[in-house]
Amino acid sequence: MLSERRLEVLRAIVQDYVGTEEPVGSKALTERHKLGVSPATVRNDMAVLEEEGYIAQPHTSAGRIPTDKGYRLFVDRLAGVKPLSTPERRAIHNFLDGAVDLDDVVGRTVRLLAQLTRQVAVVQYPSLTRSTVRHVELLALAPARLMLVLITDTGRVEQRVIDCPAPFGETSLADLRARLNSRVVGRRFADVPQLVQDLPESFEELEDRATVSTVLATLLETLVEEHEERLMIGGTANLTRFGHDFPLMIRPVLEALEEQVVLLKLLGEAKESGMTVRIGHENAHEGLSSTSVVSVGYGSGGEAVAKLGVVGPTRMDYPGTMGAVRAVARYVGQILAES
Amino acid sequence: MLSERRLEVLRAIVQDYVGTEEPVGSKALTERHKLGVSPATVRNDMAVLEEEGYIAQPHTSAGRIPTDKGYRLFVDRLAGVKPLSTPERRAIHNFLDGAVDLDDVVGRTVRLLAQLTRQVAVVQYPSLTRSTVRHVELLALAPARLMLVLITDTGRVEQRVIDCPAPFGETSLADLRARLNSRVVGRRFADVPQLVQDLPESFEELEDRATVSTVLATLLETLVEEHEERLMIGGTANLTRFGHDFPLMIRPVLEALEEQVVLLKLLGEAKESGMTVRIGHENAHEGLSSTSVVSVGYGSGGEAVAKLGVVGPTRMDYPGTMGAVRAVARYVGQILAES
DNA sequence: GCTGGCACTCGGACCGGGGGAGTGCCAAAA
DNA sequence: TTTTGGCACTCCCCCGGTCCGAGTGCCAGC
């Protein structure tokens, strides 16, 4: 167990390193922070902290920098979440209030987060499975070709073209549309499968049954399909603030960011409620082993329908970043609830 | 007017510089290319080329590198378009054939282009105004709230929520839907405005007229709206191959790439038909003054409905890049025509 | 107009020597 | 037992000097 003062030393090291981006030594520490002890004492504490794996030296006779484990302790026990300043809050409101549709909300949110945190922002679109159905529409594009359009309560729209096994009459289509809607409107997407499973049998014509089955299959496929978990990223230019060594650092990060799958998994691993901070090697993807991810769920009600967050160097301002992420998530939730 | 040999020297310089990324000197040139003259002669030619502004020296007593003007001449008169190899062609087909919908086509195209050229790829979604209407759908979300869904022949779908001035009956809605569709299906978006302008008057109820007007207004707005000119980019990780000095280079490029407006303007400035190459300072945006943009229109018929291209360092393999861009554009056009 | 030769320039790599920030350890003080 | 001041030591980083080589411009001769 680390003494109070040693924790204090760790906190000071993290803060200074985040500020200066340079290894911090015992003397500089005592000068910048009122620790009430001499550099020699701090040196002893540092030796202990290093022993325990919280800090490390880039090379002998250099200052110390925090390890992933050190940041972890800092985030868990030493750092609060810094509330935003009033101007910052106002900026959020001003910026997000002008949004006209869902795409716009997401787009603005990404830019806002990137600007506020000066890091890379990631915003997931409200997911299908946790939303509820506002409307299902079936359009005949051709005799044996339908388009399925799904509209969610969060304003998201999914469409899909369906090739039917047989032509489908206009009346049957209207019938199916009506029955579908009466069953699923207002229900959660997750519940849809069991609500529609008996639909094909209620049709008399054998051919129609086949078509109905096809339509339902596509509908269900659309619901579970993972690649439809879209997201938007922004602020990649902030990666250039990474450090001096960054050609080597930045490349794998950019590559990881282009793989939506990676990002979705990243967000998926985060806790359902509350803020999640994943530091350095805690991220499964190795390209992101020198970055930290701060993420949180957001949603229109009390429940999260999607997540958003930022990706930045492990050496980041955690309290500030967490504050910004949380504030933005809350306000986006409000915006969605209103629309 | 430059002699044949001097042009040959310029071509050699461009090729070598693109290959090695280092200033090229007279001796190295004569060794790598069969120019049939001595280094001294090449030096004289280089002096002339420099005088004319086609090449420059980073510092005295270093080799020469091409200027933007030099690249321009190279592209216009010295370089052809290098056709792709058979494996490359096959790769294009394999990769694009699996696409399931428009989003997928665009996404795959971006990745493909980025991989093929090892640069940043930009693909514009087929634009609304040049496409034709496949279907217009009106859905009642609430008594006085409609959703307008537009489906294009390229598979693109646009939706928009409309708040009506008054409730709108189901029969009126069906009526309007039918009339709208009968007028505009199969027509080009650009022609839609004049095709529907007299619609409101054909409705008897005054209230309905108001609603119809609102719907039409939204429809037309959707058609012209510029921010709906979406695009997708990819391969930003390739920016790290930029050069040694790249922290300074890469940042403004990333920033520019995040501004869709900038990119759209960039593509918009390109010629309607044929390939466009903009080199270095020829690009209006100053963040892109050390990059070149190779773009071309693509479309399902003979006509371009959108553009795609790549952004890379001015020091790029122009013939190869142009070949890849053209080949991909052609095949995407085919894919769109089939679907 | 081309060529070979020559003197010159300059950037980049390669030392070697301070200077400084930082460390570990130890003995003395609290 | 913990804290402190002192001290010797270790490296990194910066700086200046040297050397080397690729490249250039110029010129006289073919």
Residue A270: which CATH number?
3.30.450.40
| Nearest C-alpha neighbor of A299 from the set A123, A134, A157 | A123
Are A45 and A193 in a shared domain? no
Tell if the CB–CB gap between A234 and B258 is shorter than 8 Å: yes
Instruction: Give the length of chain A.
Output: 339
Asked whether the predicted pLDDT for residue A55 surpasses 80, the reply is: yes
Phi-psi map region of B321: left, alpha, beta (phi>0 left; psi -120 to 50 alpha): alpha
Are B252 and B118 in a shared domain? yes
A226 confidence band (pLDDT: 50, 70, 90):
very low
| Nearest C-alpha neighbor of A119 from the set A23, A306, A250 | A250
Using CA atoms, how far apart are residues B146 and A159, in angstroms rounded to an integer?
Answer: 17
| Nearest C-alpha neighbor of A177 from the set A220, A136, A222 | A136
B161 confidence band (pLDDT: 50, 70, 90):
confident
The bridge status of strand B55-56 relative to strand B275-279 is unpaired
Q: What is the mean pLDDT of residues A208-233?
A: 77
Between the two ends of chain B, the Cα-to-Cα distance in Å is 51
Strands of the A157-163 sheet, one edge to the other: A133-142, A145-152, A157-163
- The CATH number covering residue B184 comes to 3.30.390.10
User: Within a 13 Å sphere around the CA of A219, how many CA atoms are in the beta-carbon half?
Assistant: 31
Q: What is the mean pLDDT of residues A207-211?
A: 78
* Residues ≥6 apart with Cβ < 8 Å to B107: B232, B234
Please report where in the chains the tokens 């280089």 appear, as a residue.
B46
The amino acid present at A92, given as its one-letter code, is: I
Are A106 and A186 in a shared domain? no
Q: Is the CB of A61 under 7 A from strand C?
A: yes
A244 confidence band (pLDDT: 50, 70, 90):
low
Instruction: Choose one of B225, B254, B270: the last residue of a domain.
Output: B225
Using CA atoms, how far apart are residues A270 and A288, in angstroms rounded to an integer?
Answer: 15
Q: Pick the residue with more confidence: A204 or B167?
A: B167
Tell if the CB–CB gap between B147 and A155 is shorter than 8 Å: no
* Closest residue to C8 measured CA to C1′: B61
Using CA atoms, how far apart are residues B294 and B279, in angstroms rounded to an integer?
Answer: 9
| Structure token pair of residue A135 | 């409307």
Are B253 and B326 in a shared domain? yes
Task: Count structural domains, chain A.
Answer: 3
Taking a C-beta distance cutoff of 8 angstroms, is the pair B324, B283 a contact?
no
3-class secondary structure per residue, B1-59: CCCHHHHHHHHHHHHHHHHHCCCECHHHHHHHCCCCCCHHHHHHHHHHHHHCCCEECCC
Nearest nucleotide by C1' position to the B39 CA atom: C3
Q: Report CA(A112)–C1'(C20) in Å, whole number.
A: 43
| Structure token pair of residue B57 | 């020296």
The amino acid present at A212, given as its one-letter code, is: V
| Structure token pair of residue A166 | 């047989």
Are B155 and B206 in a shared domain? yes
Using CA atoms, how far apart are residues A333 and A297, in angstroms rounded to an integer?
Answer: 9
- The CATH number covering residue A33 comes to 1.10.10.10
Nearest nucleotide by C1' position to the A41 CA atom: D3
Asked whether the predicted pLDDT for residue A299 surpasses 50, the reply is: yes
Are B200 and B239 in a shared domain? no
| Nearest C-alpha neighbor of B295 from the set B78, B122, B51, B110 | B122
Task: Tell me how close the Cα of B186 comes to any Cα of chain A, in angstroms.
Answer: 12
Q: Is the CB of A41 under 7 A from strand C?
A: no
Are B91 and B233 in a shared domain? yes
B226 confidence band (pLDDT: 50, 70, 90):
very low
The DSSP H or E segment spanning A13 is: helix A4-20
pLDDT tens by residue, A126-137: 877 777 888 888
| Structure token pair of residue A331 | 């306000």
Are B166 and B313 in a shared domain? no
Using CA atoms, how far apart are residues A121 and B45, in angstroms rounded to an integer?
Answer: 52
Chain centroid to Cα B83, Å, comes to 20
A323 confidence band (pLDDT: 50, 70, 90):
very high
| Burial readout A181-202 (b: 16 or more C-beta within 10 A, e: otherwise) | bebbeeeebeebeeebeebbee
CB atoms within 10 A of CB A44: 15
Are B205 and B255 in a shared domain? no
Instruction: Choose one of A208, A225, A242: the last residue of a domain.
Output: A225
Q: What is the mean pLDDT of residues A263-292?
A: 91
The amino acid present at B197, given as its one-letter code, is: Q
pLDDT tens by residue, A90-110: 999 999 998 877 888 999 999
Interface test with A, best of B111, B118, B250 (most A CBs within 10 A): B250
Instruction: Choose one of A225, A246, A276: the last residue of a domain.
Output: A225
pTM (predicted TM-score): 0.84
Are B177 and B106 in a shared domain? no
Torsion of CA B243, B248, B253, B258, to 10 degrees: 130
Using CA atoms, how far apart are residues A167 and A56, in angstroms rounded to an integer?
Answer: 70
Percent of chain B predicted with pLDDT > 70: 96
Segment among A72-86, B97-111, B145-159, B215-229 with least mean pLDDT:
B215-229
Task: Give me the pLDDT at residue B227, please.
Answer: 46
DSSP state of A166: S
Asked whether the predicted pLDDT for residue B39 surpasses 70, the reply is: yes
Which nucleotides of strand C come closer than 7 angstroms to any CB of the protein?
Answer: 2-5, 8-11, 20-26
Which string of DSSP letters, residue by residue, matches B88-106? HHHHHHHHHHT--SHHHHH
Which string of DSSP letters, residue by residue, matches B233-274? EE-GGGGGGS-TTHHHHHHHHHHHHH-HHHHHHHHHHS-SSS
Return the top range by mean pLDDT from A60-64, B189-193, B303-307.
Answer: A60-64
Helices (H) and strands (E) in chain A, counts: 12, 10
B84 confidence band (pLDDT: 50, 70, 90):
very high
Q: Report CA(B247)–C1'(C9) in Å, whole number.
A: 30
Using CA atoms, how far apart are residues A325 and A317, in angstroms rounded to an integer?
Answer: 12
Q: Report CA(A21)–C1'(C20) in Å, whole number.
A: 19
Residue in chain B lying closest to A138 (CA): B137
Residue B169, judged by CB atoms within 10 A of its CB (0-12, 13-18, 19+), counts as middle
Backbone angles phi, psi at B250, to 5 degrees: -75, -35
B142 DSSP β-pair partners = B145
Residues 36-75 of B with CB under 7 A from strand D: 39-40, 43, 46-47, 50, 57, 60-64
Using CA atoms, how far apart are residues B232 and B250, in angstroms rounded to an integer?
Answer: 19
Asked whether the predicted pLDDT for residue B52 surpasses 90, the reply is: yes
| Nearest C-alpha neighbor of A193 from the set A217, A172, A214 | A217
Using CA atoms, how far apart are residues A152 and A131, in angstroms rounded to an integer?
Answer: 6
Sign of CA dihedral B234, A107, A236, A71: negative
Asked whether the predicted pLDDT for residue B72 surpasses 50, the reply is: yes
Domain of residue B293: give its range: 86-125+229-338
Are A203 and A259 in a shared domain? no
Please report where in the chains the tokens 């795609």 appear, as a residue.
B308
A158 DSSP β-pair partners = A150
Are A277 and A310 in a shared domain? yes
* Residues ≥6 apart with Cβ < 8 Å to A131: A152, A153, A154, A156, A188, A189, A305
